[in-house]
Amino acid sequence: MIHEAAFQVLAEGGYDQLTTTKVATRAGVSVGTLYQYYADKHGLVRALLVDHLRRIERAMKAVLDEKQDLPTLARHFVRRFLAVKLENRARGCALRSVFVLSDAQQVLTEVTRAVTKVLEQKITKARPRWPASRASQVATMWTTILVGSTNELLDRDPAQPAEPWFADAMEQALLALL
C-alpha cells in the first residue's frame, strides 16, 4: 500500500512534492507506520526505484537464460524489454523525477551493467572468434540503443513504443551490430 501510494504521489507532483505525510495519508497508514519501513522519503523512493529496476533486470535476464541463436535473442530481448517498459509505464513515468538523484544513477548503472554482462557472455559464446572487446562493445550498444531509444520515445510520445514499427526497428538495429 505504501509503495502504491508513493507512486501516486510521485506521479502527481514529482520528488519535490512527495512527503512522507502525503504518502502515509494516501496509503491509509500513520506516518509512524511508514517510518517503521523507511527512514525518510529518500529511503522510500530509493526502495521504489530499486524494485522497479530489479523487475526489469529479472525480466531481461530471463530472456538471456533462454537457449537461442543471436538473431532470436535480439528479437526476444527487444520484445521483452518493450513489454516490461509498457507494462510498468506509469511507474516508470512516476520515477523519472528521481533519476537525478545520485544513488538512483548508481542503481541504474548497476542494473544495466548486470544485464550487459550476461548479454556479453551470450554473445561471446555465440561468436567465439570475436575479440572479447567486440562482444563487450556489442552488448553495451544493444542495451544503450534499446534503453535510450525507448526512453527518448516514451518522453516525446508515450504511445509510439507500443507501435509494431518501433520493435521492428529496434530488432534491426541490434541485428545490424552482429
* Radius of gyration of the chain from its Cα atoms, rounded to whole angstroms: 18
The reported pLDDT for the residue numbered 29 is: 97
DSSP SS3 for 18? coil
pTM: 0.88
Low-confidence ranges of the chain (pLDDT < 70): none
Which residue bears the cell 504511445?
Answer: 159
d(CA 157, CA 55): 23
Residue 125: CA count within 13 A, CB half-sphere: 13
The reported pLDDT for the residue numbered 105 is: 84
- Parse the chain into domains and list their residue ranges: 52-176
The reported pLDDT for the residue numbered 97 is: 78
**Cβ–Cβ < 8 Å for 14, 97:** yes
The reported pLDDT for the residue numbered 155 is: 83
Give the fold, CATH level 3, of 52-176: Tetracycline Repressor; domain 2 (1.10.357)
